[in-house]
């Protein structure tokens, strides 16, 4: 009788243990995916911010940089050129062959001629003068058309208040890691089959970085799955093997 009771207790314990492992085998992958998705929101946010910075760096320097510290220095110290626009070309002007470039050139020439004749207190006075007096401007009906290049704060211009000079440096670090930086790689001499030079950049974060403290087996399975599909096991923007317009591999 006593033996039967012990056997029953052991069976109950075994059933409980088996139930636990069955439930855990279902819950663990679900929990892992939920945590991965939540973390990747912030990893992607930094990658998008880095893509914005790299594109602007290339616009200014005709190349990308793999040095993320120098990229941050660039953002903090380089002013951004922006064009202030006032007025636009009408359908009639466009049909007559006037383009934005031609219109700006006409105005620039008019301003130079005006400045040779007299001084102006500010740009508003200069524009008012050429709109009223320059024959070429009047002929092309460019009164009210204005384009001015100004220098603005790079970080404020690119990120619209989301980052400032104090916190912009955070974008080079992979969230949920102990200060690990994103990996960056560039190929500034890549040539297309037509011989056109196209600088390339790739910035990435491996699953082993921002998922390092989550379930080991689930992470290994995820990496194995992506590698079998010949995908990068993590998140990245750009590609140093072929142009992809700096797309993210989640897009």
Q: What dihedral angle (degrees, nearest 10) is formed by the CA atoms of 147, 153, 156, 158?
A: 60
Least confident of 21-25, 59-63, 66-70: 21-25
**Does the structure show a pLDDT above 60 at 22?**
no
pLDDT of residue 20: 46
**Does the structure show a pLDDT above 80 at 2?**
no
Comparing 13 with 47, which gets the higher pLDDT? 47
Q: Based on the domain organization, do 89 and 209 belong to the same domain?
A: no
The overall average pLDDT reported for the chain is 91
Q: How far is CA 76 from CA 71, 99, 152, in A?
A: 9, 35, 12
Q: Has residue 197 been placed in a domain? A: yes
Q: Based on the domain organization, do 134 and 177 belong to the same domain?
A: no
Pull the structure tokens for residue 203.
């910035």
Q: Based on the domain organization, do 87 and 126 belong to the same domain?
A: yes
pLDDT of residue 29: 86
What is the domain range of residue 144?
A: 80-152
Q: Average the pLDDT over 78-101 and give the result.
A: 93
**Does the structure show a pLDDT above 80 at 9?**
no
Q: Average the pLDDT over 64-79 and give the result.
A: 97
Q: Based on the domain organization, do 96 and 144 belong to the same domain?
A: yes
Q: Based on the domain organization, do 59 and 84 belong to the same domain?
A: no
Q: Average the pLDDT over 156-175 and give the result.
A: 96
pLDDT per residue over 128-160, tens digit each?
999 999 999 999 999 999 999 899 999 999 999
Pull the structure tokens for residue 110.
């008019």
Q: Has residue 183 been placed in a domain? A: yes
CB 168 within 8 A of CB 155: yes
Which of 103, 104, 113, 105 is CA-nearest to residue 134?
113
Q: Has residue 2 been placed in a domain? A: no
**Number of structural domains the chain divides into:** 2
**pTM as predicted:** 0.80
**Does the structure show a pLDDT above 50 at 248?**
yes
**Does the structure show a pLDDT above 90 at 162?**
yes
pLDDT per residue over 182-206, tens digit each?
999 999 999 988 888 999 999 999 9
Q: Average the pLDDT over 41-59 and give the result.
A: 98
Q: Based on the domain organization, do 94 and 143 belong to the same domain?
A: yes
pLDDT of residue 224: 96
């Amino acid at each position: 009788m006593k033996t039967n009771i012990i056997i029953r207790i052991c069976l109950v314990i075994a059933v409980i243990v088996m139930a636990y492992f069955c439930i855990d085998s279902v819950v663990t992958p679900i929990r892992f995916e939920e945590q991965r998705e939540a973390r990747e929101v912030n990893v992607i946010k930094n990658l998008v911010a880095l893509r914005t910075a790299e594109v602007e760096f290339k616009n200014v320097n005709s190349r990308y940089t793999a040095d993320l510290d120098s990229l941050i220095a660039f953002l903090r110290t380089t002013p951004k050129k922006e064009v202030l626009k006032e007025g636009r070309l009408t359908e009639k002007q466009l049909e007559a062959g006037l383009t934005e470039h031609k219109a700006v050139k006409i105005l620039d020439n008019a301003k130079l001629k005006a400045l040779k004749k007299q001084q102006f207190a500010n740009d508003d006075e200069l524009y008012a003068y050429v709109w009223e007096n320059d024959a070429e401007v009047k002929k092309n009906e460019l009164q009210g058309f204005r384009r001015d290049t100004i220098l603005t704060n790079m970080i404020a211009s690119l990120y619209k208040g989301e980052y400032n000079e104090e916190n912009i440096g955070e974008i080079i670090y992979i969230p949920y890691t102990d200060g690990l930086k994103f990996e960056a790689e560039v190929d500034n001499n890549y040539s297309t089959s037509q011989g056109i030079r196209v600088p390339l950049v790739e910035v990435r974060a491996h699953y082993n970085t921002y998922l390092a403290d989550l379930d080991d087996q689930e992470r290994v399975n995820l990496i194995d799955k992506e590698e079998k599909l010949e995908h990068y096991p993590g998140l990245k923007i750009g590609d140093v093997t072929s142009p992809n317009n700096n797309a993210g591999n989640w897009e």
